[in-house]
Structure 1
Amino acid sequence: MRVVSLVPSLTEAVAVTAPRLLVGATDYCTHPAGLDVARVGGSKYPDLDRVRALRPDLVLLNVEENRKADAEALRAAGVPVRVTYPRTVPEALRELADLLAALGVPDDPDWLRAARRAWAAPAPALTRRAVVPVWRRPWVVLGADTFAGDVLRRLGVANAYAAHPERYPRPELAELRSREPDLVVLPDEPYRFTADDGPEAFPGTPCALLSGRHLTWYGPSLAEAPALLAGQLDRPVSRPE
């Protein structure tokens, strides 16, 4: 089987589990390090001619990472696609197991077993209430029914916008501040928040700088995500008011 992945986390999952199957990936597929496959452009705007030229038996996509138009174009060209859409950690673990089985992997890999163990404990009480920007200029935050929101919930962090009707609301900065969160969570992707770019917008409020890969990717990174993210959440930075 020849697989092209347009989803960085699935690229990593296939590459570390069944590397001979993977023949193509996006320019943003950075894990595992040194991945040597054909590149087909970005996740949002892949070069479909390059994808088809690789003669894939399956192309992997995600509802949020990729465009519906590209999935439809590939299907119309006779290219089989598999579209993922996990919104919780258990859903991600199930989808990964189903995908690997569909690719002919006979047993769950060690990293998937480790991920199940890492997330097996019941979710703790919600002790902190956070706003979670994923972009600025304009500000975009996590809303309802998102995978990253479920990851944070399982680490004891409530999303202040979890009940918002939109999955990715675009509030003004003044509104974000008016929510008076206990914590502002700033991942380093898709927008690269840093100690010098993000916390200054929330003076006096602790800001946790998180690994975006561990907050939003569903693949081998899930095995180490709980411990790594918990440590980052417990080391917030704060700017004076």
Structure 2
Amino acid sequence: MRVVSLVPSLTEAVARTVPDALAGVTDWCTHPAGLGAVRVGGTKNPDVGRIVSLAPDLVIANEEENRAVDLAALRAAGAEVLLTEVRDVPQAFRELARVLDACGAAARPRWLDEAERTWSALPAPETRTTAVVPIWRRPWMVLGRDTFAGDVLARLGVDHVHAAHPERYPRVPLEELRAAAPDVVVLPDEPYRFTADDGPEAFPGLACALVSGRHLTWYGPSLAEAPRVLGEALRAARPRPARARSARRR
């Protein structure tokens, strides 16, 4: 089995389970370190010709991460493309199992079972916290409706302000983000690399949590430790006391 992965999350999952299957990966596939597969460009601008030259049995992609035009070009060139959709945590586990099976995994990997148990065992949050979650600046963009990262946060007791926005990743003026007065501003280090010196200064007077983008947005082996890693980062931000509301999980 020869696989080209166009999704960093799925690359990590395949590498942990059937590493010999990976023939090509994107420039953004950083986990695990030391991948020996051929680099085929970015997630949004893959080199279709290079991918085809690798003669893959399967190209794995994601409807959000990759462009439809590139996937159409791969199919037109004769490549089989497995397209995934991941909008929440349970769907992530289903899609991971489907991808690994298609990539020739002999059995369901232990890490996947452990990750699913970790999320299933999460206690219902005692309180809820409101958040604004920027994913880009210049212009400012935030999590909107129906996103995997939004579902991850909701299961940890964090409700992002723009969850009902008609767009999935809306552009929102900074003044409007500040005016929302959330309990915490969640700043991941990808896709935009927010840091202590680049992001928090835009939200004076608001608690800011710098979090791992891999644990917030990736659906792969990182899911097993995501609740702990994200929880620690959120607690370190020391947000104002959460507003009293139902502790019901999504």
**Unaligned regions of 5+ residues in structure 1, if any?**
none
Query: Is the aligned partner of 1:222 residue 2:223?
Result: yes
**1:100 shift after superposition:** 1.1
SS at match of 2:61: strand
Change beyond 3 A, Cα 1:150–1:10: same
SS at match of 1:149: helix
SS at match of 2:106: coil
Letter in structure 2 aligned against 1:183: V
Superposition map of 1:1-241 within 5 A: 1-120=1-120, 121=122, 123-125=124-126, 127-236=128-237
Superposition RMSD on alpha carbons, in Å?
Answer: 1.2
Give the Cα–Cα distance (whole angstroms) in 2 for the partners of residues 128 and 189 of structure 1: 22
Give the Cα–Cα distance (whole angstroms) in 1 for the partners of residues 41 and 61 of structure 2: 14
**1:213 shift after superposition:** 0.4
Count of matched residue positions in the alignment of Structure 1 and Structure 2: 238
SS at match of 1:46: coil
8 Å CA contact 1:199, 1:237 repeated in 2: no
Summarize deviations over 1:29-82 as a string: whole Å, max 9, x none. Answer: 011011111010111001111000000010011111110001111111110001
8 Å CA contact 1:3, 1:58 repeated in 2: yes
**1:105 shift after superposition:** 1.4
SS at match of 1:234: helix
Relative to the length of structure 1, the TM-score reads 0.96
SS at match of 1:204: coil
8 Å CA contact 1:61, 1:81 repeated in 2: yes
Change beyond 3 A, Cα 1:236–1:49: same
Which protein, 1 or 2, shows the higher relative CO under an 8 Å CA cutoff with sep ≥ 6?
2
8 Å CA contact 2:58, 2:103 repeated in 1: no
SS at match of 1:119: helix
8 Å CA contact 1:195, 1:237 repeated in 2: no
Identity of aligned residues (%): 66
SS at match of 2:236: coil
Summarize deviations over 1:213-237 as a string: whole Å, max 9, x none. Answer: 0100001111111111100111117
Give the Cα–Cα distance (whole angstroms) in 2 for the partners of residues 25 and 185 of structure 1: 29
8 Å CA contact 2:60, 2:99 repeated in 1: no
Relative to the length of structure 2, the TM-score reads 0.93
